[in-house]
């Protein structure tokens, strides 16, 4: 989140005078793939409300406004429905309207109306911010249980109510409040689990399951997103990555091989289960509470780096099962990804959503749409994506709309998907996961006393040697000692970089001090001082024979 200060107004375009200034925007909270989010207040007769969040659609000039508005409306309808069902641990929807773009107070609004969404304001930080910036500690069990509870409410709704897919579960979409509670945000890409609604698939390369590229998603797609959150809590890295030098024989990012997991087979097996490439091999939504309990127990017994995450079980979860209100609501197949959903004895086949040939990044959103040329790509960095398929009933040359079932549900046409190349910010995201080679700037001073002690000893011995040998060669001796200091500094950074490669890149541990580098530097400077001491000629010679082995090593 940028948290940049702004002073803008917006509101619905309706006949009431002043309606387009009914919301005052005070800060830019962040920009996602399709929208900008502001902190705001509702103003009525000069009275301001408690803080709110206002989400504004960013229009993509390479797509029709009608299609964008329909896509936005689907996500808004799903979030409003979830709010009406009283689903907890989500960002609440308060209002929605069409209005012109935010503008400074006193100025006339410009442009055509766009969709706005008013949400509750959630203080706190998302999981990526918390772990990367060390802004506070995270209760892993509490966080994962909250996300799993939201998933269960979406995938197992009351009888007669449509199940929902979030489709973009990831660390950045989980907000941790000041009290440690977790809430799921960003339902822009959420859809009802039905073919009529699933005409786009939200896709974030580092966290999404590969079935999006095969054109068929289900509840297991959210399970994969949930697994990416758990993976990040354990390792501090994204679940999928395009590592340099890795062959990309498939269009999606491969599962990351992390050193912490490679050294712990049981932890690796457990943590990668929800991230399996095959949706049928992932745990089902209703199995996640027990999976969370087992993960916490395994991590607590494992030697994993402290990333600011607590893995103790805060309370007894019993058998970890979700309550099920009706036995007729179930997922028949072993894996939820290809299951047939039974609701009140009516069969609803899982939708088949097929991606189109071209992948076009638009305003931070990856849109895969038939008939669009990749040359229309705009330079904005892709953040998340939409794999788009034609609306039902639409016709495209050379493609059949498919047979229509007795229930009136048309089969979605199957299109080929071109290879999706790795994007530049995928590499940037991977670099963000890596700690700096030299460690955090504040850690470099910790252990400095070792370098100071060694430096002072070598300096005193050098001064004694200089005074003993005479001042005629002072310039040469000064340059000689400066060279020693340069070597010491180089040695310090060499040890620091080597430690960064070992701990930061291989073990993904966070280094808090530079004691080892300072200790090595201090020993080097002490050895230099010993060499100066042994070369002194005062007319009497102390017995320094015990230093002979050390000086022999130094002189080499």
| CATH number of the domain that residue 74 is part of | 3.30.200.20
List Cβ<8 Å contacts ≥24 apart for 133-137. 134/308, 136/176, 136/308, 137/308, 137/309, 137/310
Write the pLDDT tens digit of every residue in 100-120. 999 999 888 888 999 999 999
> Is residue 65 in a domain?
yes
Tokens representing 374? 């990749």
> Is residue 351 in a domain?
no
> Is residue 350 in a domain?
no
> Is residue 176 in a domain?
no
- Residue 250 is predicted with a pLDDT of 61
> Is residue 514 in a domain?
yes
What are the angstrom distances between the C-alpha of 100 and each of 7, 218, 249, 552?
16, 36, 45, 80
Q: Out of 101, 121, 141, pick the residue that ends a domain.
A: 121
> Is residue 433 in a domain?
no
- Residue 498 is predicted with a pLDDT of 79
Strand, helix or coil at 343? strand
List Cβ<8 Å contacts ≥24 apart for 80-87. 81/164, 82/153, 82/154, 82/164, 82/187, 85/153, 85/157, 85/158, 85/161, 87/150, 87/153, 87/154
Q: Out of 121, 156, 186, pick the residue that ends a domain.
A: 121
Parts of the chain with a pLDDT under 50: 1, 245-247, 315-321, 323-434, 508
> Is residue 10 in a domain?
yes
Q: Out of 70, 102, 121, pick the residue that ends a domain.
A: 121
CB 114 within 8 A of CB 99: yes
The enclosing H or E element of 24 equals strand 23-31
Write the pLDDT tens digit of every residue in 47-92. 999 999 999 999 888 889 999 999 999 999 999 999 999 999 999 9
Q: Cα separation of 359 and 62, whole Å?
A: 12
- Residue 154 is predicted with a pLDDT of 97
> Is residue 1 in a domain?
yes
Q: How many folded domains does the chain comprise?
A: 2
Domain containing 9: what range? 1-121
Closest CA to 186 of 127, 265, 231: 127
């Amino acid at each position: 989140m940028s948290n940049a200060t702004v002073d803008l107004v917006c509101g619905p375009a309706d006949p009431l005078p002043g309606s387009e200034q009914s919301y005052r925007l005070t800060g830019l909270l962040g920009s996602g793939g399709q929208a900008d989010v502001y902190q705001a207040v509702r103003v009525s007769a000069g009275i301001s409300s408690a803080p709110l969040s206002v989400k504004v659609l960013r229009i993509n000039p390479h797509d029709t406004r009608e299609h964008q508005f329909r896509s936005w409306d689907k996500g808004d309808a799903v979030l409003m429905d979830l709010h009406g069902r009283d689903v907890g641990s989500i960002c609440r929807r308060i209002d929605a309207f069409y209005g012109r773009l935010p503008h400074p107070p006193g100025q006339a609004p410009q442009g055509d109306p766009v969709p706005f969404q008013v949400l509750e304001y959630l203080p706190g930080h998302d999981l990526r911010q918390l772990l990367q910036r060390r802004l506070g500690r995270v209760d892993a069990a509490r966080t994962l249980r909250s996300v799993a509870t939201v998933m269960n409410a979406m995938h197992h709704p009351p009888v007669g109510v449509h199940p929902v897919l979030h489709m973009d579960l990831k660390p950045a979409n989980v907000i941790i409040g000041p009290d440690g509670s977790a809430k799921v945000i960003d339902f822009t890409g959420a859809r009802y689990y039905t073919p009529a609604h699933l005409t786009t698939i939200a896709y974030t390369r580092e966290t999404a399951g590969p079935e999006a590229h095969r054109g068929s998603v289900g509840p297991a797609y959210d399970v994969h997103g949930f697994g990416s959150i758990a993976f990040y809590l354990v390792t501090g890295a994204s679940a999928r990555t395009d590592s340099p030098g890795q062959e990309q024989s498939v269009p999606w990012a491969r599962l990351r091989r992390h050193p912490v997991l490679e050294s712990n087979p049981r932890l690796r097996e457990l943590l990668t289960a929800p991230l399996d490439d095959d949706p049928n091999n992932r745990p089902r939504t209703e199995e996640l509470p027990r999976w969370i309990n087992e993960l916490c127990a395994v991590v607590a017994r494992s030697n994993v780096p402290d990333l600011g995450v607590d893995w103790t079980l805060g309370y007894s979860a019993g058998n970890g099962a979700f309550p099920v209100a009706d036995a007729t609501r179930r997922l028949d197949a072993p894996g939820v990804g290809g299951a047939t959903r039974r609701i009140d004895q009516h069969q609803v086949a899982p939708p088949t959503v097929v991606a189109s040939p071209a992948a076009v990044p638009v305003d931070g959103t990856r849109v895969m749409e038939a008939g669009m040329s990749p040359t229309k790509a705009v330079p904005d960095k892709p953040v998340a994506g939409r794999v788009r398929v034609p609306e039902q009933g639409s016709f495209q040359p050379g493609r059949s709309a498919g047979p229509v079932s007795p229930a009136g549900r048309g089969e979605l046409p199957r299109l080929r998907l071109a290879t999706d190349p790795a994007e530049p910010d995928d590499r940037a995201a991977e670099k963000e996961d890596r700690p700096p080679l030299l460690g955090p700037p504040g850690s470099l001073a910790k252990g400095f006393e070792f370098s100071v002690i060694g430096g002072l000893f070598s300096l005193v011995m050098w001064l004694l040697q200089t005074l003993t040998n005479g001042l005629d060669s002072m310039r040469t001796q000064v340059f000689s000692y400066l060279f020693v200091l340069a070597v010491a500094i180089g040695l310090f950074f060499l040890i620091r970089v080597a430690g960064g490669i070992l701990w930061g890149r291989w073990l993904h541990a966070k280094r808090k001090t530079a004691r080892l580098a300072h200790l090595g530097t201090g020993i080097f400077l002490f050895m230099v001082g010993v060499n100066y001491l042994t070369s002194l000629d005062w007319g009497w010679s102390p017995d320094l024979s015990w230093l002979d082995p050390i000086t022999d090593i130094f002189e080499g």
